[in-house]
Amino acid sequence: MSHSVLFQPFALHDLTLPNRIVLAPMTRSRAGVERLPNQLMAEYYAQRSAAGLLITEATTISEEANGWNESPGIYTDAMTEGWKYTTDAVHEKGAVIFLQLWHLGRSSHSSFHNGKPAVAPSAIKINEPYIHTPTGKQPYEVPRALETDEIPRVVNDYRQAAERAKAAGFDGVEIHSANGYLIDTFLQSKTNHRTDQYGGSVENRYRFLKEVVEAVTSVWPANRVGVRLSPNGVFNDMGSPDFREQFTFVASQLDHFGLSYLHVMDGLAFGFHELGEQMTLAEFRNIFHGPLIGNCGYTQEMAEKAVAEGHADLIAFGRPFISNPDLVARFQNDWPLAETAEMSDWYSPNGAKGYTDFPAYSY
């Protein structure tokens, strides 16, 4: 039996988490073409509810925000009702669950939007071969740059999604500002070539995220709102030469809000842009004084070390949780982990297969 720091409770402001292990947000594409959260999804989250904190898969805030096949939304009454299956199932197990708010920005495609182009801070296309769309693989397209006077509308979509998350029974929300999706592309000089007040300086590039945080914290207390960043990542063709300056500034500004946590994808499992030295949790610890979550490629040993050394309070696990619904018990009892699921099942619309059909460890 392990007596590791990972199994110590943690006070996430007014929430008491039973351990330091977080279910990372992972897109699993089980919401069907209507994007309706359903009972199968509720079963999936309930199976993993021994985690100290559960963060849902990325969930779109509007029709315009879509860009991933069969991922769930939170912008209609039916979607809000559908998420109650999950919040009820998880709360029955005594667990805490946050909804991750998502706008895909330029990593979408016109076929998700009745032929209209995806939106972004600037008209810069993803330099990668293809995207999976409702009509199969398609080449990436040049997005449409949002007009300055449209930005308040997008910010308001985040606010309305936060209100729906509250109505659906979530304990909080996480603003997805990572991985080359809309907010991240505003933050980074590689993808933000704007000349208005949302572009140019590090301060201006942060403005959109700041306005989203202000909108969401007008609905939720700040200590129930997290933000996710990916300073080291290349996913969706990201990585900017001034990344350290930008993300240091962003973290220092977010520190003023009293947020629930900052969720940093510090690990390199999604690739590293190699535009400077990797940004570490220790670096973020110096500038952000609230709870810190590390993520991306952690093993149990790496997680224990990060928490024991004080660099993080919580560590999020993604892939190991796919095929190990009882990951917490396996860590705690030194039981072996199941083989990672086939990648072809991760995002497949195959219902339970590769989703809720992984058994708990039998001994």
What is the fold, at CATH topology level, of the domain defined by 5-346?
TIM Barrel (3.20.20)
Domain locations in the chain?
5-346
- Which helix or strand (DSSP H or E) is residue 227 part of? strand 225-229
Does the pTM exceed 0.85?
yes
Written as six digits, the tokens of 311 are 């660099």
Which residues neighbour 276 within 8 Å (Cβ) at sequence distance 6 or greater?
Answer: 241, 243, 244
Share of the chain above pLDDT 90, in %: 93
pLDDT band at 346 (very low <50, low <70, confident <90, very high): confident
As a whole number, the mean pLDDT across the chain is: 96
Active-site residue list: 181
Inter-helix orientation angle 243-254/202-216, to 10°: 30
Q: Is residue 294 helix, strand or coil?
A: strand
pLDDT of 351 reads: 85
- The rounded distance, in Å, linking the Cα atoms of 299 and 329 is 15
- The rounded distance, in Å, linking the Cα atoms of 31 and 351 is 9
Q: How far is CA 75 from CA 33, 63, 82, 222, in A?
A: 15, 8, 11, 22
pLDDT of 341 reads: 73
Q: What is the mean pLDDT of residues 98-124?
A: 98
Q: Is the pLDDT at 54 greater than 50, yes or no?
A: yes
pLDDT band at 339 (very low <50, low <70, confident <90, very high): confident
Q: How far is CA 312 from CA 29, 97, 207, 217, 280, in A?
A: 30, 19, 26, 24, 10
Closest CA to 254 of 283, 221, 219, 228: 228
Q: Which of 345 and 63 is assigned the larger pLDDT?
A: 63
pLDDT, tens only, 118-153: 999 999 999 999 999 999 999 999 999 999 999 999
Of 49-53, 111-115, 180-184, 347-351, which range is least confident? Answer: 347-351
